[in-house]
Structure 1
Amino acid sequence: MRVRALPIRTAVPVALAATGLLLAGCGTTSGTAAPATAASGASETGGAPEAAEEPVKAAAALGGPGTACALPVSFALAEKWKPEAIDDPENPDFAALMRQGPATVRCEVDAKPAGHVGYLRVWTAAKGPARAALEGFVKAEKGASKTAYRETKAGALPATEVTYTVYDKLMEESKEERAFAVSTPKGTVIVHLGGLDTDEHRAMLPAYELARTTLKLS
Structure 2
Amino acid sequence: MKASPARPSTAAQPTVVTGPAGRRQPVAAGPPWYDDVASATDATTVGPKGSACTLSVTFSVPAEWRVEAVRSGAEFTLGPAVPVCEIDAKPAGHIGFLRVWQITGATPLNPQDTVDRYLAAFDGPKEQQHRRTRAGPLDAFEATWTEDGERKRAIVVSTRKGELMITLGGLDTEEFEAMLPAYQSAKSSANLPT
TM-score range, shorter chain: 0.7 to 0.9
Q: Which has the higher contact order (CA 8 A, sep 6+)?
A: 2
Q: Does 1:145 align with 2:126?
A: yes
Please say if residues 58 and 191 of structure 2, whose CA atoms lie closer than 8 Å, have aligned partners that are also in contact: yes
5 Å matches for 1:1-218? 44=28, 47-48=31-32, 50=34, 56-90=40-74, 94=75, 98-126=76-104, 127-167=108-148, 174-218=149-193
Q: Classify the secondary structure of the residue corresponding to 1:119.
A: strand
Q: Hey, what does 2:21 align to over in structure 1?
A: none
Please say if residues 149 and 162 of structure 1, whose CA atoms lie closer than 8 Å, have aligned partners that are also in contact: yes
User: Which whole-Å deviations, capped at 9, do the CAs of 1:121-159 have from their partners, x for residues lacking one?
Assistant: 000113432222122112222231110001100011111
Q: Which is worse superposed, 115-124 or 81-90? A: 81-90
Decide whether aligned partners of structure 1 residues 49 and 122 sit closer, same or farther in structure 2, where only a CA change above 3 A counts.
closer
TM-score, normalization by structure 1 = 0.70
Identity, % of aligned positions: 37
Q: Classify the secondary structure of the residue corresponding to 1:123.
A: strand
How many residues in Structure 1 have an aligned counterpart in Structure 2? 169
Q: Classify the secondary structure of the residue corresponding to 1:146.
A: strand
Please say if residues 29 and 36 of structure 2, whose CA atoms lie closer than 8 Å, have aligned partners that are also in contact: no
Please say if residues 148 and 162 of structure 1, whose CA atoms lie closer than 8 Å, have aligned partners that are also in contact: yes
Decide whether aligned partners of structure 1 residues 133 and 210 sit closer, same or farther in structure 2, where only a CA change above 3 A counts.
same
Deviation at 1:58, TM superposition (A): 1.4
Structure 1 gap segments, 5+ residues each: 1-37, 168-173
Decide whether aligned partners of structure 1 residues 183 and 50 sit closer, same or farther in structure 2, where only a CA change above 3 A counts.
closer
Write the distance in 2 (CA, Å) between the matches of 1:204 and 1:40. Answer: 12
TM-score, normalization by structure 2 = 0.78
Decide whether aligned partners of structure 1 residues 85 and 153 sit closer, same or farther in structure 2, where only a CA change above 3 A counts.
same
Please say if residues 131 and 142 of structure 2, whose CA atoms lie closer than 8 Å, have aligned partners that are also in contact: yes
Runs in 1 of length 4+ with deviation above 4 angstroms?
38-43, 48-55
Q: Classify the secondary structure of the residue corresponding to 2:117.
A: helix
Deviation at 1:53, TM superposition (A): 6.2
User: Which whole-Å deviations, capped at 9, do the CAs of 1:47-70 have from their partners, x for residues lacking one?
Assistant: 457597675211110011111111
Structure 2 gap segments, 5+ residues each: 1-5, 14-26
Please say if residues 86 and 105 of structure 1, whose CA atoms lie closer than 8 Å, have aligned partners that are also in contact: yes
